[in-house]
Amino acid sequence: MLPSRLTGSGVELAIMSIWHAAPAEAAAYTRDAVSAHPGRFLLGLGTSHAVLVEGDGTAYRKPYSKMVACAASAGPTTTSSAAAATASSTP
């Protein structure tokens, strides 16, 4: 469910699998989307499911550790912006 402040605002949401994009690639995609749609783009990172990841030939190992590494590589600005957006969206 979207926070009420986002309802009807034309926000674009995307969820990217941490297994199918390198952190630098995800960061570049996010920068481009944010530049093109300031204040209207939210990217979520997801760990997906073992059957989907391994179906592409990638070992699904330690998803939590991989998520932490991916988030850390996004840099402090991205991470703190995501934390602020998440904190302000809770009821």
Write out pLDDT tens, residues 3-23.
666 556 676 777 888 888 887
Token pair for 18: 């941490």
DSSP assignments along 3-47, one per residue: -GGGTTS--EEEEEETTSS-HHHHHHHHHHHHHHSTT-EEEEEE-
Distance of CA 15 to the CA centre of its chain: 6
Write out pLDDT tens, residues 60-82.
999 999 888 887 876 665 555 65
Provide the residue ranges of all domains of the chain, joining segments of one domain with +. 4-89
| pLDDT band at 51; cut points 50, 70, 90 | very high
Q: Could you tell me which residues come within 8 angstroms of residue 9 by beta carbon, excluding any fewer than 6 positions away?
A: 40
Task: Report the alpha-carbon distance of residue 17 to residue 46 in Å, rounded.
Answer: 5
Instruction: Write the single-letter amino acid at 68.
Output: V
